[in-house]
């Protein structure tokens, strides 16, 4: 596989887990950014005594430093593997997904976080389930597993089962799909992940819209059912096709924003700088 270069990310929330990591956590601890001084009797940790602050204290109390805790989280990639994810237009969709997930795994490792992979079609694919791990080099295994995966036209019910495979503590869940499924099902998936921070990654290949002929016979195939249909493409139909595709992307934006986070639209190949900017912006 190509080298998976990690990208930076930050959280919009403070994790409460006990495992030390790179993210500012909730509560206080012995390390991290300085937060405040408290009396030694309130927090008996003589290693953190501040002699200067103690000398200035008008009550004569011995003062110790308190710091914000630094905590680790789990980054989970939940991948839609239904039939439409096998689309290959200007790019091979599964090659893009493999590169994306390997990048997320490398990034989690660099930050001291654990990484989890959950592949779904009509159920959770056990061959593509990787429990949370901070094992070094896991990005190569993630890439290889996804590159050999076969998206199947068997529905997306497995996405509703993702929450049951995640730790109880809040995770950063990267939900990867073309989201070509009914809106009510997307709502159900998002509602099932309510306790986690969910970043939807919407895959789009420009070839789906822009490579249609202005006029001529085209064979359309439903990737989920395999059914084929011969259609006479004409300028008005092509324009309507593009309009509906854009309207659906707008509807997805509104749906995800209403649940707390703007989606990242991954168009054709992976743009690492754009993804990093999206993650850092929160």
User: For 112-254, where are the E strands, in sequence order?
Assistant: 114-120, 124-133, 172-177, 197-204, 216-221, 228-233
The verdict on 195 and 130 lying in the same domain is yes
Give the rounded percent of residues in the chain with a pLDDT score beyond 70: 84
The verdict on 66 and 193 lying in the same domain is no
Number of domains in the chain: 2
In a domain, 115, yes or no: yes
The verdict on 94 and 65 lying in the same domain is no
- Considering the entire predicted model, what is its pTM? 0.82
| pLDDT, tens digit (0-9, with 9 covering 90-100), for 9-40 | 988 878 876 677 777 766 656 566 677 787 87
Of 4-13, 60-69, 189-198, the one with minimum mean pLDDT is: 60-69
Closest alpha carbon to 120 in 170, 193, 204, 169: 193
The verdict on 41 and 109 lying in the same domain is no
The verdict on 81 and 50 lying in the same domain is no
- Tell me the mean pLDDT in the region 252-262: 92
The verdict on 147 and 164 lying in the same domain is yes
Kind and range of the H or E run holding 2 = none
The verdict on 24 and 114 lying in the same domain is no
Has residue 6 got a pLDDT over 80? Answer: yes
The verdict on 65 and 176 lying in the same domain is no
Quickly count: other Cβ atoms within 10 Å of residue 50's Cβ.
Answer: 16
Q: What is the pLDDT of residue 30?
A: 56
In a domain, 121, yes or no: yes
In a domain, 14, yes or no: no
The verdict on 156 and 27 lying in the same domain is no
**Structural domain range at position 250:** 74-281
> Which domain CATH number covers 139?
3.40.50.410
Q: What is the pLDDT of residue 32?
A: 61
């Amino acid at each position: 596989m190509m080298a998976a270069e990690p990208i930076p990310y930050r959280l919009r929330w403070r994790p409460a887990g006990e495992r030390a990591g790179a993210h500012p956590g909730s509560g206080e601890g012995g390390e991290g950014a300085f937060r405040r001084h408290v009396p030694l009797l309130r927090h008996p940790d003589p290693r953190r005594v501040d002699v200067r602050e103690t000398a200035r204290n008008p009550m004569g109390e011995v003062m110790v430093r308190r710091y914000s805790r630094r905590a680790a989280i789990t980054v989970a990639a939940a991948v839609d593997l239904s039939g439409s994810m096998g689309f290959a237009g200007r790019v091979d969709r599964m090659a893009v997904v493999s590169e994306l997930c390997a990048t997320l795994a490398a990034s989690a490792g660099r930050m001291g976080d654990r990484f989890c992979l959950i592949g779904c079609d009509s159920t959770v694919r056990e061959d593509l389930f990787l429990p949370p791990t901070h094992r070094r080099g896991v990005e190569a295994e993630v890439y290889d597993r996804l590159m050999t995966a076969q998206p199947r036209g068997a529905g997306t019910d497995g996405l509703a089962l993702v929450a049951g495979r995640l730790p109880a503590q809040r995770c950063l869940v990267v939900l990867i799909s073309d989201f070509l499924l009914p809106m009510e099902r997307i709502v159900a998936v998002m509602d099932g992940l309510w306790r986690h921070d969910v970043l939807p990654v919407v895959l789009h290949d420009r070839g789906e819209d822009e490579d249609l002929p202005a006029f001529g016979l085209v064979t359309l195939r439903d990737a989920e059912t395999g059914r084929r249909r011969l259609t006479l493409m004409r300028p008005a139909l092509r324009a309507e096709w593009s309009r509906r595709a854009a309207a659906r992307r707008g509807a997805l934006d509104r749906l995800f924003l209403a649940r707390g986070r703007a989606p990242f639209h991954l168009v054709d190949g992976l743009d690492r700088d754009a993804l990093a900017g999206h993650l850092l912006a929160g």
